[in-house]
Structure 1
């Protein structure tokens, strides 16, 4: 089965993958919002999504390390890695302590900050072109880039909020 969804929120995406697993669908492949699923036993897998520190590292070493932990690397898209573990092997949580969760959400925050800046610059350039030329297509692209910028801003706020909540837990 092939499904298309756009997620900017790692937690929401993990919840959805978990729901699909509970309905008997295991993630097989991911590419740019297209999720390929194959049938499985309902609830057979638990899912996690990780953000690598950089995307040029040795992916084979990472996959081998995960395999040693009983975790299967399903797919990788740029720095995002989709992981699963058999539910019968117990709970699957990559980041268990508060400090490691803060570090993860800080990485995600910085990732989205970069894209927020890039998308915002593109939006203002496109918006200026719309005003200067009056072309309809420039306006359409301005709206699209504005929507993407708002989605990035929402993720920046959400990551900051999550980090603040974790810091409160730590106290």
Structure 2
């Protein structure tokens, strides 16, 4: 289990992120049109998984905006923004912001993604939500980079993620 902080207060996650060099665990998430998306739906593409607690917070919204800006310049790469927000909230945010280069996916129904990837927050005021993480997956489904952001209010290291594509 990873130890992270929220405004300096220690909180724990349900486990540790999958290791670099291993295959990305399968997932089943809900898209904005309420269809289900799995890892297999993105087969053959490089992926950046931008994972965060809620798009309705400043840092989370900033990360979606930053990845949306860069995503249009990436070849054979999809940026998946994953949270426990309802798909309607994710869609409202992207619509209001004019963001269409990222794929918003929700883990609202079961939270299985957060548990399987070891990033669900166990305690504190954000218990049950996802911690802030970045996972980069190559076109063969192998994890090439992970980042568990130590202070949940901080932004991820965008440059490190893009360098691992």
Normalising by structure 2, we get a TM-score of: 0.29
- Between Structure 1 and Structure 2, whose CA radius of gyration is higher? 1
Larger relative contact order (CA 8 Å, sep ≥ 6):
2
Normalising by structure 1, we get a TM-score of: 0.28
Please identify which structure carries the higher helix content. 1
Please identify which structure carries the higher strand content. 2
